[in-house]
Amino acid sequence: MALDTGFPVQDARDDFLRARRRAALSAVRRRMHGRSATYDVLLPFDEVVAALGRRGERDLGLQVIEVDSIVGSVDRSTGFDRLFRPTSDEAERRFARIDVALRRGAEMPPIEVYRVGDVHFVIDGHHRVAVARALGWTTINAHVVEVLTAVGADRDLRLEDLPTKGHERVFAERVPLPPRMRERIALSQGRDFGVLAEMVEAWGFRYMQQRGRMMDRQETARTWFTEEYEPAVELLRQTGLLTGGTETEAYLRLSAERYRLLRSHSWDDGTIERLRGTVDRARRT
């Protein structure tokens, strides 16, 4: 929280120096904990949207948004880190001018941002966001343009997650599940999205052969989820086999093992017992 000594110019300089120290300390902690060099980097808007798959946009007008939701920028050379702490002294003059004005009772004009999922990217107003953070603000006025994407983004998204998000986007295109169903699919390894997509497509091909009728991708995805994925996950949960990672990771791993052992795509008592024996042996080794 910013201090107020009654001397706005000095207080503004102290705010800036405090934010600079925090940025430097964060870099030290990042190295001590073995985190990547990009861990605290502002998310680049263009790269994020390319990975998530742009589908359109809509102007939402003036809104009050949470300062903590602002984690990116359209400009890669802003001079701020992910928490809008200055990474050099070049930002001090504009930072101090805004800080002093606010301390003297001026109103801050709204910033301009893009919204992608749960996060925001600054179009205009980087220094205003930096000062708002330094002063301990929790919300800020912003003109918001929402960018719609095939895959969403949450506040934990970081630069190193973008390759996985790209794989997730391709999965969403190949297996277009409704949002409620899509939220259940969680994989930590990007390549696994491709494996799962192939599995769904193969399941859909067999299903159409058995039923003697064609289905488009949307129907195939919904049918796979309701007739294969949900029942299988529930069966694996009841039999104690839904362990190790997310439910989707367990389903993917055990489905592949089921086919390797039995060349079967069914879930019956014999399949479960064979899988249980395999899992038990793996745990003992």
pLDDT in tens, 70-97: 999 998 777 899 999 998 888 899 999 9
The three-class DSSP label of residue 175 is coil
Residues 6+ apart with CB under 8 A from 53: 149, 150, 151, 169, 172, 173
Same domain, 127 and 196: no
Q: Which domain holds residue 210?
A: 175-284
CATH of the domain at 114: 3.90.1530.10
Same domain, 64 and 141: yes
Same domain, 96 and 186: no
Domain end marker among 120, 153, 186: 153
In a domain, 170, yes or no: no
Same domain, 139 and 206: no
Amino acid letter, residue 98? I
Same domain, 141 and 99: yes
Could you list the beta-strand ranges (E) of 98-194: 111-116, 119-124, 139-149
Q: What is the pTM of this model?
A: 0.80
Same domain, 148 and 48: yes
State the pLDDT at residue 113.
98
Neighbours of 261 (CB within 10 A): 13
Same domain, 36 and 139: yes
Q: What is the mean pLDDT of residues 90-112?
A: 93
How many domains does the chain fold into? 2
Same domain, 25 and 133: yes
Same domain, 13 and 136: yes
Same domain, 121 and 252: no
- Separation between Cα atoms, residue 219 and residue 26, nearest integer Å: 48
- Separation between Cα atoms, residue 175 and residue 132, nearest integer Å: 42
pLDDT in tens, 5-36: 767 888 888 888 888 888 777 776 766 766 66
In a domain, 165, yes or no: no
In a domain, 169, yes or no: no
50: pLDDT confidence band, cut at 50, 70 and 90? Answer: very high
